[in-house]
Amino acid sequence: MKLFIAALVAGASVASSGALAQDALPQAGSPWFKVGQDTLAANLAKQPNTRRAKNIILFTADGQGVGTNYAVRLFSGQQKGLLGSEYVQPQEAFPHLALVKTYTTNGQTPDSAPTAGAMNTGVKQKNGMINIDPSVAHGDCAGVTGHELKTFAEIVAGEGKSVGVVSTARITHATPAGVYAKTANRDWEDDSKLPEGCTAQKDIAAQLFDQIKAGVVDIALGGGRRHFLPKDVKGEEGKSGKRTDGRNIIKEIQDLGGQYAWNEDTFKALDLDSDKPVIGLFEASHMKYEADRTGEPSLAEMTAAAIKKLSKNGNGFYLDIEAGRVDHANHDGNGARMLTDGKAFADAIALADEMTDDADTLIIVTADHEHAIAFNGYCGRGSPINGLCYDVDGKGEKHAAAPLLADDGKPYTVIGYLNGVGSVLKKQDDGTYSGSRPAIDEEIVEDKDYVQQALIPLSSETHSGEDVAVYAKGPWSHLFDGTVEQNYIFHVMNHAAHNGE
């Protein structure tokens, strides 16, 4: 024992000496050095929270991998008058994180269906399929019987928790559908998409109705009204439904006693203290981009409404929230709308964090996949992330006044894409592709409709298969560490919901 105590004292002396030695370093007065020391102290003080998670919130920014997240960070900081790189997004202040491998059982590059399914069932799946085990072929309706996977929502709802799903995409789209649906094809959002003779499974909108009726889903907010209405019925904004079976699923939910909202006013009129289910369908297809939003709630407002309703349950809740249109803007090669939707995602995270308690709420923030986005260099600090790449100023911190020029004598943007509609190669009359980069300036590239220059010509920019990040705080969040498989996210949620005090 004396030897042990002596060793502790010796260790403390060494640590103290180390601290004194660092104070004597010539760089000790640097603000960067002090930030590093403060970060070290904060990490040394971390203690794992091993309480049982009463509430679990899973945030997914569709298509916001590490690169896209970086772009949103700079944009958010520059919107506040900073150079950008030093800004910290809400999720980036969370104490625990890991890298996530997003490949699927048959795809080096995933789509949003199996990635959502992996996070909601703990099992990797095939591209294009949701919550069906990977032994079934894509599009095999008859093959799904007996191969459906049980979702996290079904598990916790069966134990008395409430469940909510929120998305700026169609609520029947791949990521939100991962909470409640099981399908051999993610595109079967209404019955008109089902193949002839497909009776082994229902369409995704019909499955949402069934899960609401069964008490699994308590609140669902997003777009996709057309998939709930018959083709001969027009929605509130004059657009016809898609269903061929004559079902008006919105009315059927109302007949269950459910509340329905379709615009900002009806959203604000919802009685969130009621035990009755809530469905909000704010567009015929996807909700509007944040940059264009009018007459419908923001992602943060929908998040707050869902938390308010679900928090009425003393047993707790599971809430899945998707910023779906980050993905769509990337597909369009449209950096400006990607950035504003990414910032709206961060605002929703900050509000959810404010409305909940770290002691009993596990918050997980991640992405399902990344895109073929890239960043040009060598840009000086403060180069507008949605603008041109300016030269480094050797005399100061902020970028120089002149933009960098490529070997063709033209400036280039910070953000670019490997492929997409912004390709500089254009199809010629003889079927071949050729072209050169058009001239650009700051006014052109900072327009919200500007499409970033790309290399490979494609009608829609693609996903990529690289890792994404997961950030977490709350009970058992320390289990996110290192590099993990995407289906591991389910296992942390499931453990947190069932273990601890």
Q: What is the structure's pLDDT at 313?
A: 98
Q: What is the structure's pLDDT at 18?
A: 55
Provide the annotated active-site residues.
112
| Alpha carbon separation from 372 to 23, 64, 73, 74, 122 (Å, rounded) | 45, 11, 18, 18, 27
The H or E element spanning position 166 is strand 162-170
Q: What is the structure's pLDDT at 344?
A: 98
pLDDT in tens, the chain (501 residues): 444 444 444 444 444 455 557 778 999 999 999 999 999 999 999 999 999 999 999 999 999 999 999 999 999 999 999 999 999 999 999 999 999 999 999 999 999 999 999 999 999 999 999 999 999 999 999 999 999 999 999 999 999 999 999 999 999 999 999 999 999 999 999 999 999 999 999 999 999 999 999 999 999 999 999 999 999 999 999 999 999 999 999 999 999 999 999 999 999 999 999 999 999 999 999 999 999 999 999 999 999 999 999 999 999 999 999 999 999 999 999 999 999 999 999 999 999 999 999 999 999 999 999 999 999 989 999 999 999 999 999 999 999 999 999 999 999 999 999 999 999 999 999 999 999 999 999 999 999 999 999 999 999 999 999 999 999 999 999 999 999 999 999 999 999 999 998
Residues forming beta bridges with residue 58, ordered by sequence position: 320, 364
Tokens of 95: 């104490």
DSSP assignment string, 199-233: -SS--HHHHHHHHHHTTS-SEEEEE-GGGGSBTT-
Cβ proximity of 193 and 253 under 8 Å: no
With a CB cutoff of 8 Å and minimum separation 6, the contacts of 113 are: 125, 127, 128, 129, 130, 174, 177, 178, 186
Instruction: Give pLDDT tens digits for 355-403.
Output: 999 999 999 999 999 999 999 989 999 999 999 999 999 999 999 999 9
Supply angle C-alpha 179, 184, 186, rounded to 5.
60
Query: pTM score, two decimals?
Result: 0.95
DSSP assignment string, 26-88: GGGGSHHHHHHHHHHHHHHT-----S--SEEEEEEETT--HHHHHHHHHHHHHHTTS-STT--
| Alpha carbon separation from 255 to 41, 212, 252, 260, 500 (Å, rounded) | 57, 12, 5, 11, 40
Q: What is the structure's pLDDT at 20?
A: 58
Cα–Cα dist 138/185, whole Å: 6
